Amino acid sequence: MNRRREWWKDSLVYQIYPRSFQDSNGDGIGDLNGIRQRLSYLKGLGVDVIWLSPVYKSPNDDNGYDISDYQAIMEEFGTMEDFDALLREVHGLGMKLVMDLVVNHTSDEHPWFKESRKSRENPYRDYYIWKEEKEGGMPNNWASRFRGPAWAWDGSTGMYYLHIFSKKQPDLNWENPGLRKKIYDMMAWWGEKGIDGFRMDVISMLSKEPSYPDGELKDGNPYGDGQPFYANGPRIHEFLKEMNREILSRFDWMTVGEGVGVGTKEALEYAGFDSGELNMMFHFEHVELCPGPYGKWNVNPVDLVQLKEVLSRWQLELEGRAWNSLFWENHDYPRAVSRFGSDAPQYRERSAKMLAVCLYLMKGTPYVYQGQELGMTNCGFQKLEDFRDIEIHQVYEEMVGGGKVGHEEMMGYIHHTGRDNARTPMQWDDSAHGGFTEGTPWIRENDNYRAVNAREQMGRKDSVYAFYQRLFCLRKDSWVVKEGTYRLLLPEHPGLFVYEREWEGEKMLVACNFTDQWQELTVPGWTWQEARLWLGNYEEAPKGTGLRPYEGAAWIRV
């Protein structure tokens, strides 16, 4: 192990969803110049790497995840000059910038697709996945991940094209070497500009099972689940090894893949230290726990014993073989404090800090999603019209329109797991719209911005923001946190998450109370006289015999 330690292992990554971060020109839409205004805020938090959700040219059917030009900036977000200035300023502050790479699909307005649909003989035809109808119907029964079928009929050439997401997001055909080359050239172009890596959208989905078999019917969905045939498909590792050889290996980049359908075994294949593919993967096991009969659309509380099992398994199975990504939130999941902690006013800050202790003292690269460092909560919009997400509207239409569930029940599901919970404007201060815009925001702000905002928290020593700052500062110098081994304690305890870390004889105990009740805590091998408090979310040190409501603390054995 003579290699230089990779920089991304010790970095705090902060995800920006540009549309909702900061508007600079009053049109209600966050933009690049808005991000530039907030760089010192990020630096002050201790951020090392900024990951930008897509800023490329896009008709915004799926908020930028439908790209019509990979080498242009979305007009609403600014210009390429603004981008270059942003990159310069990020670097000037000693931070790095990672872009989103969305290459499973493009927009249907991408010139490649416009060509592709012109005729069966068009040179770009094979850049996408076209199939003949089968027995008078679709090529197979696959569901779109946004509900409805995954195939769209194209009348002019009389064939179907595959779109695992919306109709306006046709899947690219990675079997085509010419297409792959174009993608690598595009990545190199951004590399030459000086970006510091990519977060790779649904990267596990690039290779499809060539026989396109029907999927199982489940979760009350009238269309079949194609995921077993498009996630971790037959050629995926060949493609990523090629991408690594051709492009990734040429730059000092950080790469993290979004791992739909990825468990620990698969993560080791994609991102094992010697896999020659990616640096890290995101898995979703912990944020998708306890599904209901309609899959992700449910109101189920999270079972702590299962949460501990999942997070611990990832710690243990990657140990010494691959590097974990630690995240609670992103733009596709509800707010962590609402889902795993408590957003009741008396517990919100305490539980938000406890969640940080619980996850970020594990081993891996920490990711924070905008607003998480303030303990921002789910949005609770009362009217369906206030939601903007295409997925929410499509599922509502299918489930309520289709008579499966009533309006109230569906709204409950949306409040619990809908993606817009994480997409409301960043809450900067207590002025109109939380200081996000001087115009009308593209999506309503969360009503609680007067109480929950960055300005208030930056001025207060016991805020969630200040706690995040402190935690990440301490983490930087702690080898037991960065490299120590992991051991779960009290696996069956229904209310406490307790684990131990160890590095060259130094031991750390981390204990978190996920309930609003006092919980007795006895840990074999630990006596409180020998333990020094390292970090805790109460002003007064723990009493030693138990944990107060939503208490989260770490001790070092001395």
Catalytic residues: 201, 258
23 sits near Ca ion (criterion: CB under 5 A): yes
Q: Kindly report the number of other CB atoms within 10 A of residue 111's CB atom.
A: 11
Least Cβ distance, residue 330 to ligand GLC (angstroms): 7
Both structure tokens of 64: 């930028």
CA distance to 8, 9, 96, per residue, from 366 (Å): 10, 9, 15
* Of the residues 12, 16, 29, 326, which one makes contact with Ca ion according to CB under 5 A: 29
Gap between the Cα atoms of 10 and 16, Å rounded: 19
298 sits near Ca ion (criterion: CB under 5 A): no
Give the residue with the Cβ less far from ligand GLC, 369 or 436: 369
Max CA pair span of the chain: 78
102 binds, among Ca ion, ligand GLC, none (CB under 5 to 8 A by kind): ligand GLC
Least Cβ distance, residue 466 to ligand GLC (angstroms): 30
31 sits near Ca ion (criterion: CB under 5 A): yes
Give the amino acid at 327: F
Q: Quote helix, strand, coil % in the chain, to nearest 5.
A: 35, 20, 45
The count of C-alpha atoms lying within 13 angstroms of the C-alpha of 324, restricted to the half-sphere facing its C-beta, is: 29
Q: Footprint of ligand GLC on residues 24-53 (CB under 6 A)?
A: none
Residues in the chain: 558
> Which has the closest alpha carbon to 436: 415, 418, 454, 419?
454
Least Cβ distance, residue 285 to ligand GLC (angstroms): 15
* Of the residues 102, 254, 287, 326, which one makes contact with ligand GLC according to CB under 6 A: 102
Least Cβ distance, residue 40 to Ca ion (angstroms): 20
Q: Footprint of Ca ion on residues 249-268 (CB under 5 A)?
A: none
25 binds, among Ca ion, ligand GLC, none (CB under 5 to 8 A by kind): Ca ion
394 sits near Ca ion (criterion: CB under 5 A): no
Least Cβ distance, residue 51 to ligand GLC (angstroms): 11
Stretch that binds Ca ion, among 16-24, 46-54, 62-70, 305-313 (CB under 5 A): 16-24
Gap between the Cα atoms of 344 and 346, Å rounded: 6
CA distance to 13, 429, 437, per residue, from 43 (Å): 11, 18, 22
Gap between the Cα atoms of 448 and 430, Å rounded: 9
Both structure tokens of 384: 């369906």
Residues in contact with 460: Cβ distance below 8 Å, sequence separation at least 6, in sequence order:
466
Gap between the Cα atoms of 204 and 230, Å rounded: 8
247 binds, among ligand GLC, Ca ion, none (CB under 5 to 8 A by kind): none
Q: Footprint of ligand GLC on residues 160-219 (CB under 6 A)?
A: 165, 201-202
- Do 164 and 106 form a contact (C-beta atoms < 8 A)? no
Please state whether beta strands 485-489 and 365-369 pair in parallel, antiparallel, or not at all (unpaired).
Answer: unpaired
- HEC assignment per residue over 133-171: CECCECCCCEECCCCCECEEEECCCCEEEECCCCCCCCE
Total of residues contacting ligand GLC (CB under 6 A): 9
Stretch that binds Ca ion, among 30-38, 131-139, 228-236, 372-380 (CB under 5 A): 30-38
Q: Kindly report the number of other CB atoms within 10 A of residue 459's CB atom.
A: 10
Q: Footprint of ligand GLC on residues 234-273 (CB under 6 A)?
A: 258
Total of residues contacting Ca ion (CB under 5 A): 5
25 sits near Ca ion (criterion: CB under 5 A): yes
Stretch that binds Ca ion, among 20-28, 42-50, 61-69, 130-138 (CB under 5 A): 20-28
Give the residue with the Cβ less far from ligand GLC, 165 or 229: 165
23 binds, among ligand GLC, Ca ion, none (CB under 5 to 8 A by kind): Ca ion
62 binds, among Ca ion, ligand GLC, none (CB under 5 to 8 A by kind): ligand GLC
62 sits near ligand GLC (criterion: CB under 6 A): yes
332 sits near ligand GLC (criterion: CB under 6 A): yes
Residues of this chain that interact with Ca ion (CB under 5 A) are 23, 25, 27, 29, 31
**Interface with ligand GLC (CB under 6 A):** 62, 65, 102, 165, 201-202, 258, 331-332
